[in-house]
A and B are shown apart, each in its own frame.
Chain A
């Protein structure tokens, strides 16, 4: 077992971790934002728009992320879309995540009792205000768990970006493995690292969930 090579490759691995974090965080936020827009359009727009969006959702969910990444990175230039690996990674992440996020937001919309929205409309509150002041605050609490879950899934999907040479953690580890001809130790350590990342994120999500649902329990016990 040779673990001392981790010291030698430390800076490269740290940089790789930075790229992993960058793609993960920017990709998750972008995906959630796009997903939210899709969920809103699915709810409030005309039928043709809805058909196009549901075709988009079905196509993205029915094809592997790696193929989407290849299409964007290798196919994009033929349509005049030249992206660096990191840019392609982030864009494909946003696109790939958006339908899943849209589904989560849709389930959140549906969890708000219809009566509340009808009542708000009846007293003349604008649609946008209903969304911002009545639906969002309530549904964000409810969808924290599925959101955390999907963000965790995305943290693992960042590893796939290595195949289009995005210099993230797995890519740097592979470089180190290839240069030193040691394969087992780097990938074992890497597994442990990803596992820790997932466990920590899950715990963080659980805490946020507990905090954000505290008032729900209080109202539940007082009634």
Chain B
């Protein structure tokens, strides 16, 4: 079960990595100058937030091979989880970005700093710091929803627990242990998040 917990962590951490990268772009599109891009990113956010992740997982699992993308189930699951979380991350970053004084952007523009450097050096670092508590929250949610990947047959913690419970007829003990492992992972992540928050605090 401990080995399977590593898969849970793998799905969660690669999921959040995809979510942060993709979420940043979606967020940039959402608040950018181009109207079609704004509408597209709005649609993306609405669609991924409005559909249960389990349905998204199943859809990805069956749709990707159909459109010629033959990914292993694990990769499809990570992609689904990451793309769903990206919608939430985009909203977290948007609220964080909107709390950065617009004077900073104006000053950077006045100084002739390129938009790319503005994002990379000024906006994103601050948004990540402001959004850190919510991002940690999202990561903890991801650890929990990674259990859904068991439905498409990925041998993460929940799936392995199901197998063991099925073989030993001791569901109570097995699922309690699984719950405890999830709890410990999330507890550790929450503590790490708090530590990172303290380290990144400006004052």
**Do A67 and B158 touch (CB < 8 A)?**
yes
What residues on B are CB-neighbors of A63 within 8 Å?
Answer: 144, 179, 182-183, 186
> Which of A112-120, A135-143, A186-194 forms contacts with chain B?
A186-194
Closest to B182 in A: A63
Cα A114 to Cα B90 in complex, Å, equals 37
Q: For the complex, is A11 an interface residue (Cβ under 8 Å from B)?
A: no
Q: For the complex, is A199 an interface residue (Cβ under 8 Å from B)?
A: yes
What residues on B are CB-neighbors of A163 within 8 Å?
Answer: 151
Q: Which of B51-98 contact A (CB under 8 A)?
A: 51-56, 58-59, 62-63, 66
Interchain Cβ contacts within 8 Å, total number = 109
**Do B58 and A187 touch (CB < 8 A)?**
yes
Closest to B171 in A: A74
Q: For the complex, is B175 an interface residue (Cβ under 8 Å from A)?
A: yes
Q: For the complex, is A160 an interface residue (Cβ under 8 Å from B)?
A: yes
**Do A70 and B171 touch (CB < 8 A)?**
yes
**Do B59 and A187 touch (CB < 8 A)?**
yes
Interface of chain B, main secondary structure = helix
Given A75-B175, A195-B46 in contact, is the A70-B55 Cβ separation under 8 Å? no
**Do A75 and B172 touch (CB < 8 A)?**
yes
CB proximity of A102 to chain B, nearest CB, Å? 17
Given A59-B183, A62-B183, A78-B171 in contact, is the A198-B54 Cβ separation under 8 Å? no
User: How big is chain B's contact interface, by range?
Assistant: 35 or more
**Do A191 and B151 touch (CB < 8 A)?**
no
Q: For the complex, is B47 an interface residue (Cβ under 8 Å from A)?
A: yes
Interface of chain A, main secondary structure = helix
Cα A184 to Cα B68 in complex, Å, equals 13
What residues on A are CB-neighbors of B148 within 8 Å?
Answer: 66, 160
**Do B171 and A184 touch (CB < 8 A)?**
no
What residues on B are CB-neighbors of A187 within 8 Å?
Answer: 55, 58-59, 62-63
**Do B186 and A62 touch (CB < 8 A)?**
yes
What residues on A are CB-neighbors of B161 within 8 Å?
Answer: 67, 70
Contact of B59 among A65, A74, A188 (CB under 8 A): A188
What residues on A are CB-neighbors of B56 within 8 Å?
Answer: 191
**Do B158 and A194 touch (CB < 8 A)?**
no
Closest to B146 in A: A64
Contact of A184 among B47, B66, B151 (CB under 8 A): B66
Contact of B51 among A70, A78, A156 (CB under 8 A): A156
**Do B147 and A184 touch (CB < 8 A)?**
no
**Do B52 and A157 touch (CB < 8 A)?**
yes
Cα A64 to Cα B146 in complex, Å, equals 9
Given A62-B186, A156-B51, A156-B53 in contact, is the A67-B59 Cβ separation under 8 Å? no
Cα A107 to Cα B152 in complex, Å, equals 38
CB proximity of A184 to chain B, nearest CB, Å? 5
CB proximity of A55 to chain B, nearest CB, Å? 11
A-B contact pairs, 30 of them (CB 8 A): A63-B144, A63-B183, A64-B147, A64-B158, A64-B182, A65-B147, A66-B147, A66-B150, A66-B158, A67-B158, A67-B182, A71-B171, A71-B179, A156-B51, A157-B52, A159-B54, A160-B54, A163-B151, A170-B54, A184-B59, A184-B62, A187-B59, A188-B59, A188-B63, A191-B51, A191-B59, A194-B50, A194-B51, A195-B47, A195-B50
Further contacts, 10 of them, CB under 8 A, given A64-B158, A75-B175 = A64-B145, A67-B175, A70-B165, A75-B176, A159-B54, A160-B52, A170-B54, A177-B62, A187-B55, A199-B50
